[in-house]
Amino acid sequence: MSQPSINGSAETQYLTVNLAHEEYGIDILAVREIRGWTPVTRIPQSPHYVLGVLNLRGAIVPVIDLRLRFGLSREEYNATTVTVIITVAGRQFGVVVDAVSDVLDVADDAMRPVPDMGTTVDTEYLKGLTSIGDRMVLLLDADKLLQPQDAQMLEAALNAAGDVKAVA
């Protein structure tokens, strides 16, 4: 949901996260919590970018590594690595990122469309770009991070492993 800014145009707040020396923004309304990295329980036959699941106050939540989701190399998890819990369409899932940066207010008219990169670059996860000073922030489309077929596959695997639901 956008809020009016001081100059009258609508604004959206984004939590900015770091991933492979790039800055990404996640709509703050999708973010439920930020947790330090903790190991997860692996689910057999899940996609390579799905690390597993964690128990979040009784809810079993799938966790994906955004580096792997975006085709980047995996890095060792350290003190700055965090899991951002996101809710999209009633489903909770975690995304592992290198670090959390800050919260940005982005005026809707400051968001630029994702440039056409041809067929070699997959930009389906991006809804736009914005520049803040000399920084470029890639704004993520949280709805596209965990595909419905991935959520269904995880739920089926969890049910087969112990009759547990993958979503709260």
Domain ranges, ordered by start, for the chain: 3-162
Span 126-161, pLDDT tens digits:
888 998 888 899 999 988 877 666 666 666 666 655
- 125 half-sphere exposure, CB direction, 13 A CA radius: 15
Please determine, looking at this structure, whether the domain spanning 3-162 carries the CATH number 2.40.50.100: no
Span 72-105, pLDDT tens digits:
898 899 999 999 999 988 888 999 999 999 999 9
* Alpha carbon of residue 45 to chain centroid: 21
Place of tokens 């989701």: 69
Judge whether 61 and 30 are in contact, CB under 8 Å. no
Lowest mean pLDDT among 49-53, 119-123, 127-131: 119-123
Span 99-108, pLDDT tens digits:
999 999 999 8
SS3 18: strand
Give the pLDDT confidence score for residue 162 in this predicted structure.
55
Q: What's the whole-model pTM score? A: 0.81
